[in-house]
A and B are shown apart, each in its own frame.
Chain A
Amino acid sequence: MVSGISVRAYAMIGVLALIWVFFHWLTDLIFLTPRNLSNLMTQMSVTGILAVGMLMVIVSGNIDLSVGSVLGFAGGVAAIALSSGYGLPVAIALAVLVCVGIGLIQGSLTAYVNIPAFIVTLGGLLAWRGATKWLLGSNTIPISDDAFKMIGQSYIGPAAGIVLGLVAIGLVILMAIRRARSLKQYGLGDANYVAEILKAVIPIGAIIAFILVMNAFEEKGVPVPVLIFVAVALAGAFLTTSTTFGRYLYAIGGNAEAARLSGINNKKNVVAVYALLGALTGIAALIFAARVGSSTPDAGTLKELDAIAACVIGGASLVGGRGTIFGACLGALIMASLDNGMSLYGLRDYLQDIVKGSILVAAVGLDMFGRKQS
């Protein structure tokens, strides 16, 4: 398991590097500049956050087609709350809670009423888009609250970036030491500190590179949406790999009947995972609205497909039971890189869609081919 996944992860990182180098060449060396990379990371944060939640839903053997529409609806709720003078905290809480509520309803219809998730959320896709149009009266509602806009448009500054980077590196080292120690504690062998620290070199390198590149863009530092995305991704990775809830999701998606007979409450866990995706959709909606500076009736259209594509490109199985947060995030980054690179090159809209669609199908095709071989 361990080696299998990392082989795949390295392959994906390789593909990403190829895409980046290719676009860098194609765009006359614009793609890999700090300005564009900072922009790219900001662009991917909404899809990335949705992909983290979507991955957990997919792992449990379900799907959510409604996230794009729910994202639009939640953005509308926030914008109207702000324009009605409710203030920032209320607007944020309302948007997130509405999404959690939607997740609870759709999750319950799936888990307890046994309506297939595809149907429930296909209905949601239509209904919440309709609700958004009704809510906004088919108008665009501008957001004037500057504090709100910061969620999507501000940067944390270079100094804070360096501090965060150091903290992150410290955590990586601490975890490596803990891993080494626990081996000894449970009698699984001697603590091999050297090996564990060596394994930590790649993540530490990635953290340093990330902070330096973000700081290099006009001394602005890490964009706030990216910071939120990284926090969500880390929390998601922790939840899926280090908690019983995460383990149960994989078990339910892998073999629902075996999971049930092992004493797992499948229904409760499925509802919970939908609520979680709801909360993340709410957060993504806030970033989206803050970045655009307004709420529009068609905000978030097709976002569900970006999120699902990110998970699938990242190796998740739509049957359930397989997939990683890391893979989904890489998938989201690949999707965003394609968008960004093709726009930068000036490729026509329709060609962009054709390329993205083909790459999605090709990626899964290659994956299937690789699986059959092994």
Chain B
Amino acid sequence: MPLLEMRNIVKEFPGVRALDGVSFRLEQGEFHALAGENGAGKSTLMKVLSGVHSAGTFDGEILIEDEPRRFSGVRDSEDAGIAIIFQELSLVKELTVGENIFLGREPSRFGVIDWSQLYHRAAELLTDLHLTIDPRATVGSLGIGVQQLVEIAKALSKNAKILVLDEPTAALAEGEVETLFTILGKLKSRGVGMIYISHKLDEVFRMSDFITVLRDGRTVGTYRASDLTKDKTIAAMVGREVGEIFPTPDHDIGDVALSVTSLRVFPFDRPNDPIVKDVSFSVRRGEIVGIAGLMGAGRSELLSAIFGAWRGKVSGEIEVDGERFRPGSPADAIRRGLGFVTEDRKRYGLILEQTIRDNMTLAGLDHLSGSFLTNQSRENVAASGMMTQLRVKANTPFTVAETLSGGNQQKVVLGKWLLTRPKILFLDEPTRGIDVGAKQEIYAEINRLAKEGLAIVLVSSELSEVIGLSDRIIVLYEGRVTGEFSRSEATPEKVMAAATGNH
């Protein structure tokens, strides 16, 4: 009897099918890794399992010990013995370790918390895991790695039978990773089933019994870990279908438009610990340079720093058209001919309650309209022209952005930046979460822009996209350049290897 079985899970978001008939099995005491590129559907699958996407919002069945279950929320899945440890910690930093472990389930009598019992049980739990953590310590005072272990202790205090770990080592130091695996080994021997998600293939192979590979929302296959190698896993993750939807490149490459030397980008709150470490690269007119890398590799931070939008410290040299450029604000960058199609259109790109026109003309308002008085007729003409050029499907420029599909919203953001008439265009995840048709149209437009002589920097988590569009690819891993490939050299395997630090 399998501990967990997920059958034919289909989950759709507006315009995209995130999961397309995925099935998954887990036995008692089994360590099962889930592998796949960003956006392959791993996190969505785990959200379905944990009730974050509640029953009814997806198709398919979830069975725990052969019994069909419907979770309407995280509480239900916890009651069924499923515990998930997400990438972002969900601990309350101001509370103590003990308080966090029993949050919402405090041992109490008549509503009064029995503190001695709470800390006694917390101490027992921690000792059981061979963790020397003071249950009365404030969580915020502990290192990120220790916090991660507290999170696991919390999950186990709920008597979890199934433990899901989503990139649990992302913030851990080497020694802490060892501690983590010791604990996981102990849990395995107690019969806890574990689902492990990580980009770090070394870790995946360390303890896994099985590896299931997902790609584009489908199961590529479930393999015995002993039957796979890292190379085979990468091949299964990336597939071999680059092409078709990408236009054939026909742009000429000209002079250097942007060059960056030894750029370091520091987080606002950690001025000694750069996210981007000594990155140098250049882009020429008419060239598309792709930046590949995993989440957290420093790609968006790099673009944001060059664009003058980064709030922390930045060091290094930037040259635009051979002249030194010190970006003080996005306005500076726009004035020098830079455009930045930001990631996450709803958070950074659009003002959702405003019209297509008001969104499209926002960044170039002073030259599209006027420096103080607006000329709305001119704006209307500019916006409707851009709507035609990018084939935005909406009746008028006065349609509210919120009501558009993801693909059309993305085109509005792209249109906003094209209306600033940039010479250098940054594209950060320009096709995230949009349907194939819109993707293809955006790809064609990117190519056309390169042909017109724009220098383009493309950041994407979709390997096929980076490889299909770029003339040159730079790979970042933990803030450093770990590979550079020309169009002819780049293969998904090579890029993925560099992006996972296996170069």
- Which residues of A come within 8 Å of B, CB atoms? 1-2, 182-183, 185-188, 242-248, 250-251, 254-255, 257-265, 321-322
Is A250 in contact with B373, judged by CB distance below 8 angstroms? no
- Residues of B near A263 (CB, < 8 A) are 329-331, 333-334, 363
Is A322 in contact with B353, judged by CB distance below 8 angstroms? yes
B110 at interface by CB-CB < 8 Å? no
Q: Among the listed stretches B241-249, B364-372, B495-503, which one makes contact with chain A, having 4 or more residues with CB under 8 Å of it?
A: B364-372
Is B378 in contact with A262, judged by CB distance below 8 angstroms? no
Is B363 in contact with A257, judged by CB distance below 8 angstroms? no
- Residues of A near B196 (CB, < 8 A) are none
B279 at interface by CB-CB < 8 Å? no
Is B398 in contact with A2, judged by CB distance below 8 angstroms? yes
Q: How far is the CB of A371 from chain B (nearest CB, A)?
A: 11
Most buried by A among B334, B350, B353, B358: B353
Is A182 in contact with B377, judged by CB distance below 8 angstroms? yes
Is A254 in contact with B330, judged by CB distance below 8 angstroms? no
- With the chains together, A368 CA to B247 CA distance in Å? 47
Partner of B365, one of A182, A242, A247: A247
**Total A-B pairs in contact (CB under 8 Å)?**
91
B352 at interface by CB-CB < 8 Å? yes
- Chosen A-B contacts, 30 in total, with CB atoms closer than 8 Å, are A182-B377, A185-B377, A242-B373, A242-B376, A243-B372, A243-B373, A244-B366, A244-B373, A245-B372, A246-B374, A250-B351, A254-B354, A255-B347, A255-B350, A255-B352, A257-B348, A258-B342, A258-B347, A258-B351, A259-B362, A261-B307, A261-B309, A261-B340, A262-B363, A262-B416, A263-B331, A263-B363, A264-B362, A321-B351, A321-B354
Is A250 in contact with B354, judged by CB distance below 8 angstroms? yes
Most buried by B among A245, A255, A262, A321: A262
- With the chains together, A187 CA to B378 CA distance in Å? 10
Is A244 in contact with B329, judged by CB distance below 8 angstroms? no
Is A258 in contact with B350, judged by CB distance below 8 angstroms? yes
Is B377 in contact with A183, judged by CB distance below 8 angstroms? yes
Q: How far is the CB of A20 from chain B (nearest CB, A)?
A: 32
Nearest opposing residue in chain A for B331, CB measure:
A263
- Residues of B near A248 (CB, < 8 A) are 365
- 1/0 per residue, CB under 8 A from A, across B282-320: the answer is 000000000000000000000000010100000000000
- With the chains together, A261 CA to B354 CA distance in Å? 16
Most buried by A among B329, B340, B362: B362
Is B330 in contact with A261, judged by CB distance below 8 angstroms? yes
- 1/0 per residue, CB under 8 A from A, across B402-436: the answer is 00000000000000100000000000000000000
B381 at interface by CB-CB < 8 Å? yes
Once A243-B372, A262-B363 are accepted as A-B contacts, the answer to whether A250 and B358 lie under 8 Å apart by CB is yes
Q: How far is the CB of B361 from chain A (nearest CB, A)?
A: 8
B355 at interface by CB-CB < 8 Å? yes
- Residues of A near B355 (CB, < 8 A) are 1
Is B381 in contact with A186, judged by CB distance below 8 angstroms? yes
- Residues of B near A322 (CB, < 8 A) are 353
- Residues of A near B483 (CB, < 8 A) are none
Known: A242-B374, A265-B331. 7 other contacts (CB 8 A): A244-B369, A246-B374, A247-B374, A262-B362, A263-B330, A263-B333, A264-B362
Is B380 in contact with A257, judged by CB distance below 8 angstroms? no
B400 at interface by CB-CB < 8 Å? yes
Nearest opposing residue in chain A for B351, CB measure:
A254
Is A1 in contact with B351, judged by CB distance below 8 angstroms? no
- Which residues of B come within 8 Å of A, CB atoms? 307, 309, 329-331, 333-334, 340, 342, 347-355, 358, 362-363, 365-366, 369-374, 376-378, 380-381, 384, 398, 400, 416
Is B369 in contact with A264, judged by CB distance below 8 angstroms? no
- Residues of A near B372 (CB, < 8 A) are 243-245
- Residues of A near B329 (CB, < 8 A) are 263, 265
Is B362 in contact with A186, judged by CB distance below 8 angstroms? no
- With the chains together, A265 CA to B384 CA distance in Å? 27
- With the chains together, A245 CA to B195 CA distance in Å? 53
4 cross-chain pairs, A with B, having the tightest CB-CB distances, nearest first: A254-B351, A262-B363, A263-B331, A182-B377
Is A1 in contact with B398, judged by CB distance below 8 angstroms? yes
Once A2-B398, A243-B372, A263-B331 are accepted as A-B contacts, the answer to whether A186 and B378 lie under 8 Å apart by CB is yes
Once A244-B371, A245-B372, A262-B416 are accepted as A-B contacts, the answer to whether A257 and B353 lie under 8 Å apart by CB is no
- Residues of A near B309 (CB, < 8 A) are 260-261
- Residues of A near B307 (CB, < 8 A) are 261
- Residues of B near A246 (CB, < 8 A) are 374
- Residues of A near B370 (CB, < 8 A) are 244
- Residues of A near B374 (CB, < 8 A) are 242-244, 246-247
- With the chains together, A322 CA to B400 CA distance in Å? 13
- Residues of B near A250 (CB, < 8 A) are 351, 354, 358
Is A188 in contact with B377, judged by CB distance below 8 angstroms? yes
- Residues of B near A183 (CB, < 8 A) are 377
Is B354 in contact with A188, judged by CB distance below 8 angstroms? no
Nearest opposing residue in chain B for A255, CB measure:
B351
- With the chains together, A258 CA to B400 CA distance in Å? 16
- With the chains together, A188 CA to B396 CA distance in Å? 11
- Residues of A near B377 (CB, < 8 A) are 182-183, 185-186, 188
Most buried by A among B340, B365, B378, B400: B365
Nearest opposing residue in chain B for A248, CB measure:
B365
- With the chains together, A260 CA to B347 CA distance in Å? 12
- With the chains together, A186 CA to B375 CA distance in Å? 11
- Residues of B near A262 (CB, < 8 A) are 330, 362-363, 416
- Residues of A near B342 (CB, < 8 A) are 258, 261
Nearest opposing residue in chain A for B416, CB measure:
A262
- Residues of A near B351 (CB, < 8 A) are 250-251, 254-255, 258-259, 321
- Residues of B near A242 (CB, < 8 A) are 373-374, 376
Partner of A247, one of B340, B348, B362: B362
- Residues of A near B349 (CB, < 8 A) are 258, 261
Q: How far is the CB of A4 from chain B (nearest CB, A)?
A: 8
Nearest opposing residue in chain A for B347, CB measure:
A257
Most buried by A among B348, B351, B352: B351
- With the chains together, A2 CA to B331 CA distance in Å? 30
- Residues of A near B340 (CB, < 8 A) are 261
- With the chains together, A291 CA to B481 CA distance in Å? 71
